[in-house]
């Protein structure tokens, strides 16, 4: 069993790791791990750990760490997506980009997009389980912001791209190199005002080809195209 | 309104197109198209058409074709995916690869995969609506086959790749050129027997990087990486 699953733990003191109730339910109740069993886990911030369970209950369990490896953070890939009406499509995108090692996932309000509330806690749960499922060691940072804030967030990145459907000179995917930030607009595209504001802050228009992609498809497709090279 | 939606029609006689009940419900009832309105539609086999509605009812409507353009078939990209337990994940993959212009989507039985029934009709509906949504003109061919049949289906393609997680020499994504066929295995990977059989038939092992991707994520990610270049 050990190695088949990766668990999550963010409470580490010395060589002891204390797992919360959610993880305990999964490990102890569902998967029937017990005292003495070896377990693999991560803190979601690059630490990949291995240890043995010392004491276990439904409410929580502790593990003595045998081995701890720091996994390098993948090259920065910040995907920014216009808020969607359909929460399940945002969750879906969140799951996939986590598997693909996106380092930051930002949902932003846009002129032609939805302004509905986003359940960030829910998205974080989705990302967590996707990270565990894909045996990753890094959780993406997830934020919900305004369009103005979204533009500010990637100030430090040279490779900033905005997937604009309007006419004009555009960069192709082949030109995009990591670290990069890519902004995907709503179904109705970015407003001209938004596009111009982004360009003034150094965001280059990006061409995603002839096929029209749904917002969440474009987010996952761009992340995949940049990771699988 | 015309141009905002792309409809589907596979019954064309001379310069008249006859739409079925499903499309009629959408166009006439939901979107309130009426006689004289212009409508855009495709036959899912490369024809992109424009015409005016001549007579309309809930049960069906006919359109006089004004313009008909043949859209070139995209370079062949055949994605083959092990059958999954979760139908919704197969439907999700089907929707996304259709948006990404995959020409053929084959679900195959595998030693370590599910053998459950696949609702092909449902997948075709998903692909149809994805094609309409993305204003495409080509529907992917969808089939459910055995592993042996799956290998046979891509005989004519030189670029055949199998995403095998086991050790050994592998091709990188950068080497893959269209036309291509890419086979993605189940969660438990291909069996050694399957992998060797595929290699004997010219399938090259493909490396998808360090991150472990779910089956349906790998299918969509590979399609995206090959389309967005």
CA distance B8 to chain A (A): 17
The model's pTM = 0.92
Cβ distance of B217 and A92 shorter than 8 Å = no
- The full set of domain ranges for chain B reads 6-70, 77-227
pLDDT tens digits, B166-194: 889 999 999 999 999 999 999 999 999 99
Alpha carbons A224 and B41: distance in angstroms, whole number: 31
Q: Which residues of B76-103 are buried (b: 16+ CB within 10 A; e: fewer)?
A: bbbbbbbbbeeeebbbbbbbbbbbbbbb
User: What mean pLDDT do residues A102-111 have?
Assistant: 97
Residue A157: pLDDT band (50, 70, 90) is very high
Nearest Cα to Cα of residue B123 among B78, B76, B91, B166? B91
Chain A environment of B217 (Cβ under 8 Å): 96, 99-100
Tell me the average confidence (pLDDT) per consecutive run of 10 residues in chain B, 229 residues long. 76 95 91 94 95 90 96 95 94 97 97 88 96 93 96 95 93 96 96 96 94 94 95
Contact A159, A181 (CB under 8 A): yes
CB contact, 8 Å: A180 with chain B? no
pLDDT band at A57 (very low <50, low <70, confident <90, very high): confident
- Of A72, A75, A127, the C-alpha closest to A96 is A127
Query: Looking at residue A212, what is its pLDDT?
Result: 87
CB contact under 8 A, B227 and A214: no
Q: Provide mean pLDDT across the span A168-174.
A: 95
A140 reaches B (C-beta below 8 A): no
CB pairs under 8 A between A and B: 88
pLDDT at A112 over 80: yes
Specify the CATH number for B6-70; select among 3.40.50.1820, 3.10.20.30, 3.40.50.1580, 2.40.240.20. Answer: 2.40.240.20
CA distance B96 to B107: 15
A211 touches B at CB < 8 Å: yes
Tell me if ipTM is over 0.95. no
Write down the pLDDT at residue B18.
96
pLDDT at site B1: 36
Is A96 near chain B, with CB under 8 Å?
yes
Q: How many CB atoms lie within 10 A of CB B173?
A: 22
CA–CA distance, B154 with B202 (Å, rounded to integer)? 10
Would you state the pLDDT for residue A2?
Answer: 40
Residue B227 contacts A where some CB pair is shorter than 8 Å: yes
Q: Is the minimum CB–CB distance between B225 and chain A shorter than 8 Å?
A: yes
Residues 20 to 39 of B: which have CB under 8 A from any A CB?
none
Measured CA angle at B39 (ends B34, B40), to 5 deg: 160
Q: A136 at the B interface (CB within 8 A)?
A: yes
Q: What is the CATH number of domain A77-227?
A: 3.40.1280.10
SS3 content of chain B, % helix, strand, coil (to 5): 30, 30, 40
Listed residue (B45, B220, B119, B218) closest to A213, CA to CA: B220
Is residue B71 less than 8 Å (CB to CB) from chain A? Answer: no
Min Cα–Cα distance to chain A from B55, Å? 30
Asked if the C-beta of A209 comes within 8 angstroms of chain B's C-beta atoms, the answer is: yes
Interface test with B, best of A79, A184, A211 (most B CBs within 10 A): A211
Nearest-CA distance from B127 to chain A in Å?
Answer: 13
- How many C-alpha atoms does A144 have within 13 Å on its Cβ side? 16
State the Cα–Cα distance between residues A134 and B210, nearest whole angstrom: 10
| Rounded-to-integer distance, Cα B62 and Cα A212, Å | 27
Residue B5 has a pLDDT of: 87
Q: What is the DSSP string of B1-61?
A: -TTS-EEE---EETTEEEE-HHHHIIIIIIS---TT-EEEEE-SBSEEEEEEEEEEETTEE
Confidence of residue A99 (pLDDT cuts 50, 70, 90): very high
The alpha carbon of residue A55 is apart from the nearest alpha carbon of chain B, in Å, by 30
How close, in Å, is residue A210 to chain B by CA atoms?
9
């Amino acid at each position: 069993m050990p190695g088949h699953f990766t668990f999550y733990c963010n409470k580490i003191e010395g060589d002891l790791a204390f797992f919360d109730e959610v993880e305990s339910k999964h490990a102890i109740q569902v998967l029937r791990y017990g005292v003495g069993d070896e377990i693999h886990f991560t803190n979601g911030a690059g630490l990949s750990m291995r240890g043995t369970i010392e004491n276990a209950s439904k409410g929580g369990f502790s593990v003595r760490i045998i081995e701890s490896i720091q996994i390098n953070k993948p090259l920065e890939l910040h995907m920014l997506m216009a808020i969607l009406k359909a929460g399940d499509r945002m969750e879906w995108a969140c799951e996939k980009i986590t598997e693909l090692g996106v380092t930051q996932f930002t949902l932003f309000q846009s002129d032609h997009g939805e302004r509905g509330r986003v359940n960030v806690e829910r998205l974080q749960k989705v990302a967590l389980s996707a990270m565990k499922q894909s045996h990753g060691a890094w959780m993406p940072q997830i934020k919900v912001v305004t369009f103005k804030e979204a533009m500010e967030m990637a100030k430090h990145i040279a490779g900033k791209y905005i997937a604009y459907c309007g006419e004009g000179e555009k960069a192709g995917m082949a030109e995009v190199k990591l670290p990069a930030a890519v902004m995907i607009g709503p179904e109705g595209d970015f407003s001209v005002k938004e596009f111009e504001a982004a360009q003034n802050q150094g965001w280059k228009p990006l061409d995603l080809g002839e096929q029209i992609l749904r917002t969440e498809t474009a987010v996952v497709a761009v992340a995949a195209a940049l990771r699988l090279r």
